[in-house]
Every structure is written in structure tokens, then in C-alpha cells.
Amino acid sequence: MQDMFENLPGLLFSYSLKVEKREFKFLKTAGALDVIPGVSADQFETNPELFFSKIHSGDQSRFWDVIVQEALAGNDWGCTFQVSDGEDSIWMDCSANVKQIDSQGCSGHGIITPMRNVHLSLKKSEEQLQKLNQLNQLTSDIAATLVQSVHGEVFASIENTLRRLGEYSNTDRVYIFEYDKSRDVINNTFEWCASGISAEMENLQGLPFGMIPDWKENFTQNKPVYIPNVTLLGPDKQQLRDVLEPQEIKSLLATPMYSGETFIGFIGFDSVRGLRDWSEGEIQLIQLAGNIIAGTIYRTRFENELIAARKAAEEANLSKSEFLANMSHEIRTPMNAILGFSEIMLNTAETERDKNYLGTITSAGRTLLALINDILDLSKVESGKVKLQPVPTDLSMLFEELTGLFDTTAGEKGLELHTEIDRKLPQVVLIDAVRLRQVLYNLIGNAIKFTYEGSVKIFVRYVDKDEHNPVNRLEISVSDTGVGIAQEHQHDIFESFFQIETGYTRKEGGTGLGLTITRKVVELMGGSISLMSNPGRGSTFTITFKDIETSALKLRRDTTYDWSKVKITFNPAKVLIVDDVLMNRKLVSAFLKTFDFDLHEAVNGKEAVKKAKEIIPDIILMDLRMPEMSGYDATRVLSNLGATSHIPIVAFTASAMSHEDELIKQLFDGYLRKPVSRYELLTMLANHLEHEIEESIEKE
């Protein structure tokens, strides 16, 4: 019997429990089990603390709680606990009865046995649970990182994600293959390798998706591919072995990646240095992580496409504007000659027939020029190149000037042209006068064009802000008694190149761009345009600006001349004409021939600098784009030379790129755009050279 006790694969014991002292004592022990490895059970009898100090700390209090609760109630009691065995833990099972119970505590007998099998499987599932938790945590981390990563950093974040997944799973290679639907191929686009493992990405581009049919089938059904041991693949999987074995892959997991319903590709894990077991839970989480990455890839590729499309559109738009600007430059240069010489010949032609021909050439040329200017203008507004320049403007003066321009045409058609300005209109408003003039010029021009009897009236109304109107309002209406516009066309006439198909339009000509530009410019200025019209009775176009800045200041009136009525005599002066095109030089010379000018010419910037130093001209007309040295460079040189820095230099160019405007303004004393008219040229010279005006009919 004794022998039996001593060889029992467990530990029998009798115990006593003293509640107040919190003391659990082994009174007697027997059996072959070392409950605590390396500690013989006899020692528990002399050292009651020893047992508790050796079991896992979490189990100590559980053990105590069970005894106190169950044993003191007189019940049989039991408890499991762990003790350490080197690196490992062993689970023990203890069950006992209660023999005696009193106010101080109780006593009884029990047995402790090891729980080896249970312990192992428990331990394993606990470990697995821990790993799953870890992967779960990692997956949500990955989701947060990828969602937050800004556009330029996404691909780096994905690479970092692969590294984290690789380190977590203790695999050797983690990679992503993206599916290219248009070619039905897969490309290895991301890869992470553990140290010492060779990269394969370069070799894995443009592979047919159907190369391994099982995989394609699995992935299209949103199922993973898991090969725990490549060496165990059956002979029917030879094709797959041929792919995996050269890469020395021992275990492999690949899960499909979907963004919504779209198959993006798959994420794979290779184990090269050993086998890797993937649990069901892990595979599910990996699939989730793969889908998160898929969403990110999908979003980023989509954003990339958008960015590329926007860039292409911007480039196309820019090249369109540049093309138009260049084209207009190319056309303006010969137009300069055609219009200029026609004008000169028109003045000297003797026969009526020649005058007629020349008249037609001039007017056709001007129409062509107007069309070019309109197209250019529209492209500038559309490409956002027009920058508004609000300046203090006297509107009464502006209207006077505008009606002055149309007086003759209106008079010839027997139309009354009349402006009615609200008395309340402030003297000065802050507005881009150049653009406002352009808009009104279009509207008044159209009104006169499409009116054959009656009148064209301009009404200017101003409503100041008060308790009813939080902001002021400026309304300008151009009202005619002309042919009118049918309701169905009232919207279309603001579209590019739209002209109403009537005899009037054919008769009057035009480009069909005027109102398009007008509306765009008005909107750019922060205003709006509206139309009211009755066919046969007339039209009223109204533009409205709100909240404009006003001032009571008076502006000085600029002196302008009506060159048809004024005779100007310049004091003798030296004029240097710089242009690489012979025709342009000749044209300016022809315009200036009748004056007492000493005319000099230069064919490029270099020659201009040389001549200017020699003759010290009183004014220089400088073309901008020339071979050898541009007009800009020549002007810079001359402005920095003591002897020539005082000479006014006027830019003379066919170029129309708006980004040059600012530079021209800074560098030059004036700006003439080709084709230049005699009037513009004389006005510019009068600004810089001493002159006298005879029969001075100066316009107010």
C-alpha cells in the first residue's frame, strides 16, 4: 500500500485552512508527482508559503478564492493552476474534500494531478489567440495608416505594410500582384523580402493570369490559395511546383484582393527558410488586410489617373492658348503690312476703282484682324489669363468717349445715339475701365449694327446702399429699337460662334464671339448680364455690378486728338525704328515720311544698341522678338547706359502673350501693338516728342 502511494502519478495530501491567518497548509503528502519541478512535496509541509510562491501569480488568488468560497461552505472544491517548467508551463488539476469545519477554518484531503494533454491544447489555442489578436491589431493599424496617408506617400505606406505583415508572420517574402484586366496579366508591383532572401519582383512582370488555373479560379471566387508544404504537392500540381520550387518556396499563402466588386490582384506570403502554418483565422484576417490594401491601391490609381488627366487638360489648354497667341502673332505681322500700306495707298490712289479695291482690302483686313483679336481674347479669358486691373474711372467720361466713337456710324444710319446717366452716379468708380470699355463697345456696336431706324440709348443707373440694399448697384443698359432677338435664341447668342440665321446677320457680318466674350468678361468682373428683347421692336442688354467701390474725387481728363481734324507738326527729331522685318520698318517710315524726322533703322537689338549710341535718337520704336538680340535685351542695355538711358523706348510688337504685359510695362515707356494705325503712332509720338498742334480742335 505504502509502495502504491509512493509511486502514484499524482500527489495525495491532507490540508488545513486557517481563514484569519490566510494560511493553507499541506499537513501530509504522498505520491511520486513533483508538483513544482525540482521541489519535493515534503518541503510544502514545513514551508506553507513555498507552494503558493511557485504557482503562476494569476492562479494564486484564484486558488485561494476557490478554497475560501467552496471549502468554508463545506463543499468539495477543485482548481486548476499553472507552474513553470523551464521555458514551458504545466497545468495541474487539484481536487479536494472537506472533512472538518469550524469557526477558524476547515481541513480535509485532496489530490493534485498533471493535465498534460489538456494543457498542451489549451496552451496552443491561447498562443493562437494571442497571434490572432496581434494580427487583428496590425490589420486595424494598417487600415488607419493607409487611410490617412496622403497621396504622394501611399505607395511607401503599402511597402511599409508589407514589411509589417512579413515581420508579423515570420515569412520571407510578402508581395502584391496587380491584375491588368486589359491584357489579362498580373504584375508584381510591391515586394518585401526578409534579409538574405532574394527579390523576385523584376522577374515577375506581365505573367498570364491563367498561368496557374487553380489560382485564377480561387481568386475569382474570392478564395485564398494556401499550400502548407510545397514538397507534398501531388504530381497533378507539377506546373505549380515548377513555379514555386525554383524560388525555393516551402509554404505559401496568397489571398485575393478586392476593392468592392473589382478584383485588384492578390497578396502573397512565401516561406523559404521553413514551413509556415497559417490558421483559418489568420487567413481571414490576411484577406481583410489585402482588401484594405486593394482599396488603397484602387483609390490611388484612380487619383493618379485624375491627376494625369487634369495635367493633360491643362497642358492642352495651355498649348491651345500658346498656339492662338503665336498664331495671332504670325498673322498680325503680315496684316500690319497689308493694312498699313492699303491705308497709305488709299490716301494716294487716284482712280475711283483703285480706291474701291483698296477700301475692300482694308475693310476685309480689319474684319480678319477683329476675328483674330476676338479669338485671342476669348482664349485668354477662358484660360484665366486675363487679370483685372480696377482703376479709378470717371464713367461719364468713358460714355462720352464711347458715344464719340459711334457718333459717325449712328449718324450715317440716321439713328439717335443717346446716353442718360443717373444723377446719383458717383463721379469716380473703381473698375477695370479697359474691360468695361470692351464690353460696352461690343453691346453698343451690336445695337447700332442691328438697328435700322429709331435709336440706341444707354442708361446708367446707380442705387446706393441703404437700409433696404446692403450693397450698392450699378446698372448699365444698352437699349435699341432694332430687329430684336426671338425668345428661342436669347440664350444661344451668348455661345461661341452663334449667329442668328437671318438676312441681317449675313448683311452685317461679325464673328459670333462678341457676346460670348462680353458675358465672360462681365462675369470675370463679378457682374452679370441679362437680355430683354422683342423681335421687331428692339433689345435691351443690361449689365449689373454690385458692391463697387466709389469715390467723389475728380479725375483729370486725358488729352486725345481727333487726328482727322488736327494738324500736328513735330519739332525736328531723330527716330530709330528697330525691326527685323523690312516691311514693318518701311511701313513706319511711310507713316512718318511727311514729318521733319531724321529716320534711322536697325534690324536687331545689337544693331539698335550700336546705332543708338552713335546717333542718340529722340525716340526708339523697338520690336521685341528679333534674331541675335531681342528688343528686351537691347532695351535693358540702353537703359543702363548713361548716354542712352534718357531715350524713350516704345515697345512695338505683334506679340500678345499676356504674361509679357507686366514686363513690357516695367521696361518700356510705351507700347504699340501691330498692326499699328497712323493715329496710334502719332498719339504715341506726341506723348514723347515736342510738337505743335494747328487748328487746334482739341477734344474734351
Q: Write out the residues near ligand ADP by the rule CB under 6 A.
A: 442, 446-447, 450, 480, 482-483, 485, 493, 498-500, 505, 510-516, 539
Residue with Cβ nearer ligand ADP (210 or 536)? 536
**Number of residues that this document lists for the chain:** 700
Judge whether 459 and 420 are in contact, CB under 8 Å.
Answer: yes
Q: Is residue 136 within 8 Å of 148, Cβ to Cβ?
A: no
Residue appearing with cell numbers 472538518: 100
Q: Rounding to the nearest 10 degrees, give the CA dihedral for residues 65, 70, 71, 73.
A: 130
To ligand ADP, the closest distance from the beta carbon of 677 in angstroms equals 21
Q: Are 572 and 595 in contact (CB under 8 A)?
A: no
Taking the complex as a whole, the smallest distance from the CB of residue 477 to ligand ADP amounts, in Å, to: 12
Closer residue to ligand ADP, CB minimum distance, 342 or 446: 446
Beta-carbon count within 10 A of 408 CB? 11
C-alpha to C-alpha distance for 582 and 334, rounded to whole angstroms: 11
Smallest distance from the beta carbon of 476 to ligand ADP, in angstroms? 14
234: its cell numbers: 501531388
Of 271 and 328, the one with the shorter C-beta distance to ligand ADP is: 328
**Nearest by Cα to 663 from 689, 638, 688, 631:** 631
CA dist., res. 395 & res. 430, Å (int): 10
Cell of 687: 506723348
Shorter beta-carbon distance to ligand ADP: residue 478 or 650: 478
* CB-nearer residue toward ligand ADP: 105 or 445: 445
User: Is the CB of 439 or the CB of 684 nearer to ligand ADP?
Assistant: 439
Report the helix count and the strand count for the chain, using DSSP H and E: 19, 27
Q: Can you tell me the distance from the alpha carbon of 571 to that of 386, in angstroms, rounded to the nearest whole number?
A: 39
User: Least distance from C-beta 507 to ligand ADP, angstroms?
Assistant: 11
| Closer of 495 and 598 to ligand ADP (Cβ) | 495
Closer CB to ligand ADP, residue 268 or residue 514? 514
Q: What's the closest the beta carbon of residue 393 comes to ligand ADP, in angstroms?
A: 24
Which of residues 156 and 405 has its CB atom nearest to ligand ADP in the complex?
405
Return the number of the residue (224 or 510) whose C-beta is nearest ligand ADP.
Answer: 510
Q: How far is the CB of 185 from ligand ADP (least distance, A)?
A: 53
Q: What share of the chain is helix, strand, coil (3-state, %, to 5)?
A: 45, 25, 30
Least distance between ligand ADP and beta carbon 489 (Å): 7
Q: How would you class 20 by CB atoms within 10 Å of its CB: exposed for 0-12, middle for 13-18, buried for 19 or more? A: exposed
Rounded to 5 degrees, what are φ and ψ at 414?
70, 30
- Bridge partners of residue 450, in order along the sequence: none
The distance of closest approach from Cβ of residue 675 to ligand ADP in the complex, given in angstroms and rounded to an integer, is: 20
Taking the complex as a whole, the smallest distance from the CB of residue 541 to ligand ADP amounts, in Å, to 7
**In angstroms, what is the minimal distance from the CB of 421 to ligand ADP?**
21
Three-state DSSP at 244 gives helix
List beta partners, residue 444: none
Spell 119-144 as b/e; 16+ CB within 10 A means b: beeeeeeeeeeebbeebeebbeebbe
Widest pairwise Cα distance in the chain: 153
Cβ neighbours around 478 below 10 Å, total: 23
